[in-house]
C-alpha cells in the first residue's frame, strides 16, 4: 500500500506532507495574523491572498500546461485544510478558484481553458461560481437566469445569489437556462467577465462567519458575450454543475477539517495552561473525554476527506457518494468540535479576544454551502439505493 503511495493509505506520501509543512509555514507567518482583522472588518484579506499567490497556493489545482502548480486533488485538499486552520475566509481563495474553474476543466474547450485558467494560475484573477439564485437554492434546476442566442453571441439576464468572492473575482462561471422547457437539460454554462457590460454586484451580505470572504448577488442585465464562452455543449450545464460539486465538496470537507483542527489546537493549549482547583484544566477527566471525542471525530473526518480526494483525482465511479459523505461528516464534526472548543475555554471562549468563537461561526457555513447537509444525505441515500 505504502509503496503505491495510495491516497487511501493512512500515511501520506512524502510530497504531500511536504506540501502541508510549506503551507503551514506560510499561513503561520502571513495568513493567521490577518484572520481576526478580516473577521472584524469584513474585508477581503488581500495580504493573505498575496502571500498565497507568492507561494503558488492560491489555485494549486490548475494543471501545469496552463501555468499552474498541477497539484492533485489530495494536495489541493491539504492546502485548503491548512489555510482554513489559520483563516477560514482565506481558505476560500484556493477553494473557490477550484470551484469556479472546475467546469472549464471538466467540459471547456482547450482554447477556453488556456484563455481563462492561465491568468488564474498566474494570480492575476480569481474565478467564482454562479449557480444559486434567490428562488433556486437546493433546487438549482429551477433557475430563471436566461441566456438567449443572438447571432454569434449570447445575451444573459438574471440574478445570482450567495456568490462567494463576488466583486473580487474577475471571472464567473454562470449557469443559465437556454431552453426553459427542458428544465435541467435546458441549462448551459458560460464564462462571464467582471468587465462585461451589464455585470454588477449587490452589497456584501452581513454574515455570521467567513466575513473576510465577500458574498454578494451578481446581476446580469443584458450581458452580451461571445458564443465561444459557452462551457461545453448547449444543455450540458446542469450536468457539469453537478459533476463540479462532486469534486469540490471534497474541498469543503477539507475546509471543515482545517477549521476544526485550528479549534482543537487552540483548546488543547488553553486547557494545558489554565489552572482551576489547583491543577491544569487538562487534568480533569471530563475535559479529557471532550478532547478525546474531538480528536476522534476530527481524524475520522480527515481520513474520509482524503479518501474522497483520492476518488476525485482518479475520477472513481463512487465519487458522488464519497464527496457528499466527506462534506457532510466533516462539516458536522467541525460544528461539534468548534462548539466544544468554545466550551473548553469557558467565558473566554465566548469573547472575540480568543479565536475559537470565530472558528465556531466559520464552521457553520460548511454545513450549508455547496449543498446543505440535508441534501448531502439525499445524495448519499440515492447512491446507496442504486446498488
Contact by Cβ (8 Å): 88, 364? no
Q: Are 51 and 28 in contact (CB under 8 A)?
A: no
Say which CATH number the domain at 105 has.
1.10.540.10
219 and 331 in a single domain? The answer is: no
* Residue 194 and residue 72 in one domain: no
CA separation for the pair 242, 105 (Å, rounded): 14
Question: End of a domain among 181, 206, 237?
Answer: 237
Residue range of the domain that includes 370: 238-386
Q: What is the CATH number of the domain that holds 243?
A: 1.20.140.10
Residues 232 and 313 in one domain: no
The residues near 288 (Cβ < 8 Å, ≥ 6 apart) are 282
Last residue of a domain, one of 206, 222, 237: 237
Query: Among residues 82, 133, 217, 370, which one is catalytic?
Result: 370
> Would you say residue 7 has pLDDT above 70?
no
Q: Among 298, 300, 366, 294, which Cα is nearest to 328's?
A: 366
Question: Are 139 and 157 in a shared domain?
Answer: yes
Q: How does residue 9 score in pLDDT terms, banded at 50, 70 and 90? A: very low
Residue 50 domain flag? yes
Taking every pair of C-alpha atoms in the chain, what is the biggest distance, in angstroms? 80
User: Over the stretch 166-177, which tens digit does the pLDDT of each residue have?
Assistant: 999 999 999 999
Tally Cβ neighbours within 10 Å of residue 21. 10
Q: Would residue 6 count as lying in a domain? A: no
Chain segment 40-52, per-residue pLDDT in tens: 999 999 999 999 9
How does pLDDT run across 67-104, given as a tens digit for each residue? 999 999 999 999 999 999 999 999 999 999 999 999 99
Give the integer Cα–Cα distance in Å for 385 and 383: 5
Q: State the total domains in the chain.
A: 3
Q: Sort strands 279-280 and 275-276 into parallel, antiparallel or unpaired.
A: antiparallel
Q: Across all residues in the chain, what is the average pLDDT? A: 96
Is the pLDDT score of 38 beyond 70? Answer: yes
Pair (290, 371) in one structural domain: yes
Q: Say yes or no: 250 and 222 in one domain.
A: no
Q: Is residue 2 part of a domain?
A: no
Question: Do 226 and 211 share a structural domain?
Answer: yes
Residue 327 confidence (pLDDT) above 90: yes
Q: Please tell me the predicted confidence (pLDDT) of residue 345.
A: 98
Answer whether residue 306 is part of any domain. Answer: yes
Question: What is the per-residue pLDDT across 259-275, written as a single tens digit (0 to 9) for each?
Answer: 999 999 999 999 999 99
Q: Are 98 and 224 part of one and the same domain?
A: no
- 10 confidence band (pLDDT: 50, 70, 90): low
Claim to verify: residue 154 and residue 64 sit in the same structural domain: no
What phi and psi values does residue 306 have, to the nearest 5 degrees?
Answer: -70, -35
Residue 320 CB neighbours (<10 A): 20
CA distance 201 to 220: 9
Closest CA to 362 of 199, 252, 268, 272: 252
State whether 230 and 265 are in the same domain: no
User: What residues contact residue 197 under an 8 Å CB cut-off, 6+ apart?
Assistant: 222, 223, 224
Tell me, yes or no, whether 233 lies in a domain: yes
d(CA 203, CA 239): 30
Strand, helix or coil for residue 282:
helix
Whether residues 134 and 184 share a domain: the answer is yes
pLDDT at residue 2 is higher than 90: no
Domain stops at, among 193, 214, 237: 237
Q: How far apart are CA 36 and CA 11, in angstroms?
A: 33
Q: What is the mean pLDDT of residues 187-208?
A: 98
Same domain, 232 and 243: no
Q: Is 370 a catalytic residue?
A: yes
What confidence score (pLDDT) does residue 8 get?
47
Residues belonging to the chain: 387
pLDDT, tens digit, 9 for 90 and up, residues 103-148: 999 999 999 999 999 999 999 999 999 999 999 999 999 999 999 9
Residue at 4 is within a domain = no
Tell me, yes or no, whether 169 lies in a domain.
Answer: yes
Could you tell me the pTM of the whole model?
A: 0.96
Backbone φ and ψ of 175, nearest 5°: -100, 130
Q: Is the per-residue pLDDT at 6 higher than 90?
A: no
Q: Is residue 8 part of a domain?
A: no
Amino acid at each position: 500500500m505504502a509503496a503505491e503511495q495510495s491516497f487511501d493509505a493512512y500515511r501520506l506520501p512524502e510530497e504531500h506532507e511536504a506540501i502541508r509543512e510549506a503551507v503551514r509555514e506560510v499561513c503561520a507567518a502571513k495568513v493567521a495574523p490577518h484572520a481576526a482583522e478580516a473577521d472584524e472588518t469584513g474585508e477581503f484579506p488581500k495580504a493573505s491572498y498575496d502571500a498565497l499567490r507568492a507561494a503558488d497556493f492560491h489555485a494549486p489545482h490548475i494543471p501545469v500546461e496552463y501555468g499552474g502548480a498541477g497539484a492533485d486533488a489530495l494536495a489541493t485538499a491539504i492546502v485548503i485544510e491548512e489555510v482554513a486552520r489559520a483563516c477560514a475566509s482565506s481558505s476560500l481563495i484556493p477553494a473557490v478558484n477550484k470551484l469556479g474553474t472546475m467546469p472549464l476543466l471538466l467540459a471547456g474547450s482547450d482554447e477556453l481553458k488556456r484563455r481563462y485558467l492561465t491568468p488564474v494560475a498566474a494570480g492575476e484573477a480569481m474565478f467564482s461560481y454562479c449557480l444559486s439564485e434567490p428562488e433556486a437554492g437546493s433546487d438549482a434546476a429551477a433557475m430563471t437566469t436566461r441566456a438567449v442566442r443572438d447571432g454569434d453571441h449570447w445575451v444573459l439576464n438574471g440574478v445570482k445569489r450567495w456568490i462567494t468572492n463576488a466583486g473580487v473575482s474577475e471571472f464567473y462561471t454562470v449557469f443559465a437556462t437556454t431552453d426553459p422547457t427542458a428544465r435541467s437539460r435546458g441549462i448551459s454554462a458560460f464564462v462571464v467577465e467582471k468587465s462585461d457590460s451589464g455585470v454588477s454586484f449587490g452589497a456584501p451580505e452581513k454574515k455570521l462567519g467567513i466575513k473576510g470572504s465577500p458574498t454578494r448577488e451578481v446581476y446580469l442585465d443584458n450581458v452580451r458575450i461571445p458564443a465561444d464562452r459557452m462551457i461545453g455543449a448547449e444543455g450540458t450545464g446542469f450536468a457539469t454543475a453537478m459533476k463540479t460539486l462532486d469534486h469540490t465538496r471534497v474541498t469543503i470537507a477539507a475546509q471543515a477539517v482545517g477549521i476544526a483542527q485550528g479549534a482543537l489546537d487552540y483548546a488543547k493549549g488553553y486547557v494545558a495552561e489554565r489552572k482551576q482547583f489547583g491543577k491544569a484544566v487538562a487534568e480533569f477527566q471530563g475535559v479529557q473525554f471532550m478532547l478525546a471525542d474531538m480528536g476522534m471525530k476530527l481524524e475520522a473526518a480527515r481520513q474520509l476527506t482524503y479518501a474522497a480526494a483520492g476518488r476525485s483525482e482518479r475520477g472513481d465511479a463512487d465519487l458522488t457518494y464519497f464527496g457528499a459523505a466527506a462534506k457532510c461528516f466533516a462539516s458536522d464534526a467541525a460544528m461539534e468540535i468548534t462548539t466544544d472548543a468554545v466550551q473548553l475555554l469557558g467565558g473566554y471562549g465566548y469573547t472575540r479576544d480568543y479565536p475559537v468563537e470565530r472558528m465556531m461561526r466559520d464552521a457553520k457555513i460548511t454545513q450549508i454551502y455547496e449543498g446543505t447537509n440535508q441534501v448531502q444525505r439525499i445524495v448519499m441515500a440515492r447512491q446507496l439505493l442504486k446498488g
